[in-house]
Amino acid sequence: MKRFAPLILTALAACSTGEHPQAPSATPAAEARSAPIAFPSTYHAAPSGRVAVVGATVLTATGAEIANGTVLMAEGKIVAVGAGLAVPDGYATVDGRGKWVTPGVIDAHSHLGAWAQPETVEAVNDVNEMTDPNTAQVWVEHSVWPQDPGFDTAREAGVTTMMILPGSANLFGGRTVTLRNVPAVTMQEMKFPGAPYGLKIACGENPKRVYGAKGRSPMTRMGNVAGYRKAWIDAADYARRWDKWEKGSKADDPPKRDLQMETLAGVLKGEILVQNHCYRADEMANMIDIAHEFGFRISAFHHANEAYKIAPLLVKEGICVATWASWWGYKMEVYDAIEENAPIVHQAGGCAIIHSDDPIGIQRLNQEAAVALSSAWRAGMKIPKADAVKWFTANPAKALGIADRTGTLEPGKLADVVLWSADPFSIYARADRVWIEGNTVFDRADPQYRRHSDFTLGQAGATP
């Protein structure tokens, strides 16, 4: 455990990764007037050495499967990946023979920290601000408890990055946050530098049930849609008022900031990515029409169990599909879920993601992908493992807006790497070592790396 204190606290003065603003596409001036950088990331990668993993089968998540591969990491970045590369001087060698390497696992849909363990304890459940159908003003990062033991078990399973979402009780649940899975005391120490925010939108049964039960709108799907449209009308108006002030003399006082409208306007400006909980094909089509009406993009449909029914539409719109293979049947909107959902989207040329929405499931995204891949093979879709690995690495990175930094093993990308004991599509594979920016954050052979949560410390029966 002591090992982690210097890892987190040692700041690199010259580290560029720790200083990015949260909305990289916004101009500094715009941020200064409307949204000063709030809750900036204090995450810093510790200085990392040079590591060469040799002899493993490498799935790069760019479509390649490399036998007897070498992965070179230095200064937190991937330097080179290839078959049988010579290891340059100064690299510590890790024997990967008989093992497999993938990029760090990325979960596009997690509630870790916000709906923390012990999950039966209401005191640590801060995921749904169920007080109004529109709570776009809340930021889930303010609910994140970094001591959630679920972060530890996810890290032991190779998860290096995840997006935490609020909701789904509300039409607009609030802002998401993307975290690096490092042991930390504050959320800011985990916050992925430069990762764009997301806005959680929820379709369907959850918002209509929650508010219908309270005798207020929405209590139907048409009520849901009316609620979204009203909010976008208000947001467009808010954005116009700011634009007018911005383009004018700025002599008058600026409009008053409104946190709810600020988030929605951020979507209209393309700075905040829409992460839309939406199961049914017909509802996804409605949401696409709303996006067209108000001129924004949807980054990903989450859960999206009926994506297979409209795969060409989703491909045309460039919307990722984050889904499971196994979950179905717990409510009507998942009655038509099929294991082949992600593969069918993939085969249509789309961006398919296997996500968890679950503290147990996040530990086995590779296995869930294996279930989806198996269903593809059963159906005659010849998808190679080298492509299916993208479902829990490259594609979630794309949906989260961080694909330029992580998600594949390519030179220049962050050295987020997992060394698996076996083929990650095998039920028997376990993450043996996990690196985030070239730093070991988990090593199965070293008990110091297990269970860092303060909550589990000193508890009876807590495992080492």
Partner 1 sequence: MIRQMLMAAALIAAAPATAETVAIVDARILTMGPAGEIANGTIVMRDGRIVAVGPMVAVPPNARVIDGKGGIVAPGFIQADSTLGAVEVSQVPPSADRATHSAAISAGFDISQGLNPDSILLPVARLAGITHAVTAPLYDDRSGRELQFAGQAAVIDLGQQPEMVTRPRVAMVIEMGEGGAERAGGARGAAIVQLRETIADVRHFMRNRAAYDRGAGRPQPLSRIDLEALIPMVEGRMPLIVKVDRASDIIEMIAFARAEKLKIIVDGGGEGWRVAAAIAAAQVPVVVDPLADLPRSFSEIGATMDNAAKLAAAGVTVIIKTGSGVAHRARELRYGAGNAVAWGLPFDAALAAITINPARVFGVADRIGSLEPGKEADLVLWNGDPLEPLSRPLALFIKGRQMPLTARPLELRDRYMKAVP
**Shortest Cβ 146–partner 1 spacing (Å):** 16
Question: What string marks each residue from 57 to 96 as x (binds partner 1 by CB under 8 A) or -?
Answer: ----------------------------------------
**Shortest Cβ 189–partner 1 spacing (Å):** 22
**Shortest Cβ 94–partner 1 spacing (Å):** 21
N-terminal to C-terminal alpha carbon distance within the chain:
10
Q: Which of 111, 48, 57, 35 is nearest to 414 (CA)?
A: 48
Count CB-CB contacts under 10 A for residue 20: 16
- 429 part of the interface to partner 1, by CB under 8 A: yes
Beta bridge partners of 77: 74, 414
**Shortest Cβ 338–partner 1 spacing (Å):** 4
Cβ atoms of residues 52 and 70 within 8 Å: yes
Cβ atoms of residues 147 and 189 within 8 Å: no
Token digits for 231? 């909010």
- 120 part of the interface to partner 1, by CB under 8 A: yes
Instruction: Tell me the CA distances in angstroms from 250 to 34, 243, 254, 255, one per residue in order.
Output: 13, 11, 7, 10
Number of residues that bind partner 1 (CB under 8 A): 56
For partner 1, which is the closer residue by CB, 245 or 327? 327
Residues 198-237 that bind partner 1 (CB under 8 A): 205
**Distance from C-alpha of 236 to C-alpha of 149, rounded to nearest angstrom:** 41
**Distance from C-alpha of 435 to C-alpha of 250, rounded to nearest angstrom:** 48
For partner 1, which is the closer residue by CB, 46 or 314? 314
**Shortest Cβ 229–partner 1 spacing (Å):** 27
Among 43, 192, 425, 442, binds partner 1 (CB under 8 A): 425
Burial per residue of 21-39, b for 16 or more beta-carbon CB atoms within 10 angstroms, e otherwise: bbbeebeeeebeebbeeee
**Shortest Cβ 217–partner 1 spacing (Å):** 21
Strand 65-74 relative to strand 50-59: parallel, antiparallel, unpaired?
antiparallel
For partner 1, which is the closer residue by CB, 342 or 415? 342
Q: Which among 62-70, 76-84, 216-224, 306-314 is the span making contact with partner 1, rule CB under 8 A?
A: 306-314
Q: Which among 69-77, 112-120, 169-177, 249-257 is the span making contact with partner 1, rule CB under 8 A?
A: 112-120
Question: What string marks each residue from 430 to 459 as x (binds partner 1 by CB under 8 A) or -?
Answer: x------------------------xx--x
318: alpha, beta or left? (left if phi > 0; alpha if psi -120 to 50): left
Question: What string marks each residue from 152 to 171 as x (binds partner 1 by CB under 8 A) or -?
Answer: -x------------------
Token digits for 214? 């309270």
Residues 360-389 that bind partner 1 (CB under 8 A): 360, 363-364, 367, 370-371, 373-375, 377-380
Token digits for 377? 């093979």
Token digits for 204? 């369907």
- Please report how the helices 221-247 and 205-212 are oriented relative to each other, as an axis angle in degrees rounded to 10: 100
- 462 part of the interface to partner 1, by CB under 8 A: yes
Q: Which of 290, 293, 261, 277 is nearest to 136 (CA)?
A: 261
**Shortest Cβ 226–partner 1 spacing (Å):** 24
Among 19, 95, 119, 282, binds partner 1 (CB under 8 A): 119
**Distance from C-alpha of 351 to C-alpha of 399, rounded to nearest angstrom:** 8
Note every long-range contact of 119-124, with CB atoms under 8 Å and residues 24 or more positions apart, other chains counting. 119/359, 124/148
**Shortest Cβ 4–partner 1 spacing (Å):** 20
**Shortest Cβ 92–partner 1 spacing (Å):** 27
| Maximum Cα interatomic distance, the chain, rounded to a whole number of Å | 69
**Shortest Cβ 203–partner 1 spacing (Å):** 16
For partner 1, which is the closer residue by CB, 124 or 415? 124
State phi, psi for 259 to the nearest 5 degrees.
Answer: -60, -35
Question: What string marks each residue from 317 to 356 as x (binds partner 1 by CB under 8 A) or -?
Answer: ---------xxxxxxx--xxxxxx---x--xx--------
**Distance from C-alpha of 243 to C-alpha of 233, rounded to nearest angstrom:** 15
For partner 1, which is the closer residue by CB, 157 or 402? 157
**Shortest Cβ 212–partner 1 spacing (Å):** 14
Residue 232, classified by CB atoms within 10 Å of its CB into exposed (0-12), middle (13-18) or buried (19+), is: buried
Binding residues vs partner 1 (CB under 8 A): 117-121, 149-150, 153, 205, 308-309, 311-312, 326-332, 335-340, 344, 347-348, 359-360, 363-364, 367, 370-371, 373-375, 377-380, 425-430, 455-456, 459-463
